[in-house]
Amino acid sequence: MIDSSLKFKGQTVIVTGSSSGIGQACAIYFGGLGANVVVNYHSNKEEANETLKQIKNGGGDGIIVKADVSKEEDVLSMFEQTIKKFGRLDVMVSNAGLQVDSPFLEMTTKQWQKVIDVNLTGQFICIREAAKQFVKQAPDEYKGKAINTSRAIGKIVMMSSVHDVIPWAGHVNYAASKGGVSMMMKSVSQELAPYKIRVNSISPGAIQTAINKAVWSKQESLKELMNLIPYRRIGTAEDVAKAVAWLASDESDYVNGETLYIDGGMTLYPEFADNG
Ligand code: NAD
């Protein structure tokens, strides 16, 4: 009998970019569900320490690993450290991402490339390495030796954005990267489903984190933002973390290649609510 409150007990979860925002909330949430959590950070060690502290306060376990997800050698090292410590990987949450905004006419190739490197190539490297690890460790799983209780041999949750379907002027690099994540997710899901690996993505709307502080920290722009959100509130990182955990759990075992929009209705064309 599985204790459903600890549904990730014995499972190892990597959350990239988990020193802040959505990634941090995911890492803490998985810790609370009994997982061993790999807290990946890029530059802010103190924030990563805070994530691990909160995981441990909640009774979970974890390690901190510094890695730039756009650098292959860093990601390989993160996987080495994960397997050395916990012996296996069960869930990959490829969350790390950034924005480098610019009007299109002024966007430099460097600004374009930076976002593609982190948001798209970074997710590619992370989920490829995760899938390799899932396949490598799978025989134990089939022999019933593993302590993990999951039906799939591994689960991948990719962090996309509502901007994988909503075009975004002034953020062309970001929207292109998330559109890419969406199609990468579907194609990889199609290819890996026969291995019993599930791949899905989450597309958050406006979630209150550092990435969009300029919008929610000013009363006026927050009010304007509400016009885009039928549910009339900004999202929290925990709103997203709960959905990520569901997508990585057996409760969604028959869900493959799906994008779950966590957006308070932002993708419902709110400007048409009053007859267009
Ligand atoms: P955030 O800025 O708090 O988190 C982003 C994290 O990614 C940070 O911890 C940052 O250090 C990390 N990161 C950046 N570059 C990295 C690199 N090269 N290697 C490793 N880590 C790196 O913002 P957030 O809102 O929590 O963003 C998390 C994810 O959610 C991103 O992919 C973002 O695109 C996506 N998202 C956020 C929102 C929102 O409204 N907040 C909406 C849609 C999608």
Q: In order along the chain (276 residues), what is the average pLDDT of each group of 10 residues?
A: 69 98 98 97 98 95 98 98 97 98 98 98 99 88 55 96 98 98 98 96 97 94 96 98 97 97 97 86
**What are the DSSP E strand ranges found in 42-193?**
61-66, 91-94, 154-159
In this prediction, residue 2 carries a pLDDT of 42
State yes or no: is 174 an active-site residue.
yes
Pocket of ligand 1 (CB under 6 A): 16-17, 19-23, 42-43, 68-70, 95-98, 118, 122, 159, 161, 204, 206-207, 209-212
Cβ count near 19 (within 10 Å): 26
In this prediction, residue 142 carries a pLDDT of 55
CA distance linking residue 11 with residue 263, whole number of Å: 28
Q: Which among 142, 174, 195, 269 is annotated as catalytic?
A: 174
The tens digit of pLDDT for each residue in 1-58 reads 444 566 899 999 999 999 999 999 999 999 999 999 999 999 999 999 999 999 999 8
Residue whose structure tokens are 């006026």: 220
Q: 51 CA to middle of ligand 1, Å?
A: 15
For the CA of 74, the nearest atom of ligand 1: 19
CA-based end-to-end distance of the chain: 53
Domains in the chain with CATH codes: 12-208+236-268 (3.40.50.720)
In this prediction, residue 276 carries a pLDDT of 73
Q: 84 CA to middle of ligand 1, Å?
A: 26
Burial level of 77, CB count in 10 A (0-12/13-18/19+)?
A: middle
